Amino acid sequence: MPHATPPGITTVAAVLRAAGCVFAEDEAQLLLSTARTPAELDAMVARRATGHPLEHVLGWADFGGLRVAVDKGVFVPRRRTEFLVERAAALAPRGAVVVDLCCGTGALGAALAAALDGGVRLHAADIDPAAVRCARRNVAPLGGAVYEGDLFTALPPGLRGRVDVLLANVPYVPTAEVPLLPPEARLHEARVALDGGADGLDVLRRVTAEAGRWLAPGGVLLFETSERQAAPAMAVAEVDGLTAKAATCEDRYATIVTATRRTIPHDRRPPA
């Protein structure tokens, strides 16, 4: 016997479909299950129909098996980035010191901590105050700490030379291509979380230039990039003393680079 469609889904889905939502029925079900009152549902449907990201409307995203809080204006964690977390989980030693840099919602660090049953010491940082507030909601229940600031300057100095896994979900969209992004990202996510500079690698260069000072011996940096940027991104990491290799998940359209610390040039060694 076919399942009956719950009341309201058909009506809400029709509104969403007319607004161009491809997965209107699925989204309608999520909105109906999240809204606490009819008035709230109407407001949520209206926001979604006018182009707000579904995750901003719901206030959460499904990532790595977690329901991650996502506040208005904060970068929405992409499902493709679960590939990066899976790779990190395979590499993380027991009791790993983990840093989630450019953390946004803190989804990557939180998902990695959950995948490892909480057996990590988790730190996260972002330059965007709204992202930091959001990340604290996701990271604090896992025993992690979130800091506000520009890349490594936000982190406690005591972490230098001790980081086993450095997750850096840096922005990698070239500046000229930002206007070509879907409106959900271009209009509703912080530009600082999207714009990677002229070739999309500006923030990555800053990360790799400092990564050797912060990684423990054998520590690993993982970051996402596009398939066409993988080769130049690996070259950036190699110049800064890291051994880099790329991996692609075709099902998720995801490309990541894993860069392992080798030796650190004398002038970059942390003070004794």
Structure confidence by residue, pLDDT tens digits, 170-200: 999 999 999 999 999 999 999 999 999 999 9
Residues 74 and 69: their CA atoms lie apart, in Å, by 10
**Do 133 and 156 form a contact (C-beta atoms < 8 A)?**
no
> What is the CB-side half-sphere exposure of residue 105 using CA atoms within 13 A?
27
Decide: 99 and 154 in contact? Cβ < 8 Å.
no
Which of 65-69, 93-97, 123-127, 266-270 is the least confident region?
266-270
Q: What percent of the chain has pLDDT over 90?
A: 91
The yes-or-no verdict on residue 3 having pLDDT over 60 is no
Helical packing angle, 38-49 and 9-18, nearest 10°:
20
Question: What is the pLDDT, as a whole number, of residue 8?
Answer: 82
Q: What is the pLDDT of residue 133?
A: 97
Identify the residue whose tokens are 């979130």.
146
Least confident range of 81-85, 116-120, 125-129, 212-216: 116-120
Query: So what's the pLDDT on residue 118?
Result: 79
Determine the residue type at 4.
A
- Give the mean model confidence (pLDDT) for residues 71-81: 96
- Using alpha carbons, list the distances in angstroms from residue 169 to 11, 99, 266, 272: 38, 11, 28, 30
On the question of pLDDT at 11 being above 80, the answer is yes
DSSP three-state, residue 156: coil
Q: Which helix (H) or strand (E) covers residue 44, if one does?
A: helix 38-49
Reported confidence tier of residue 119, pLDDT bands at 50, 70, 90 = confident
The predicted structure's pLDDT at residue 53: 96
Going by C-alpha positions, the residue among 207, 107, 97 that lies closest to residue 156 is 97
**Helix (H), strand (E) at residue 31:** helix 24-34
Predicted pLDDT of residue 263: 58
Burial 84-122 (b: 16+ CB within 10 A, else e): bbbbbbeebeeebbbbbbbbbbbbbbbbbbbbbeeebbb
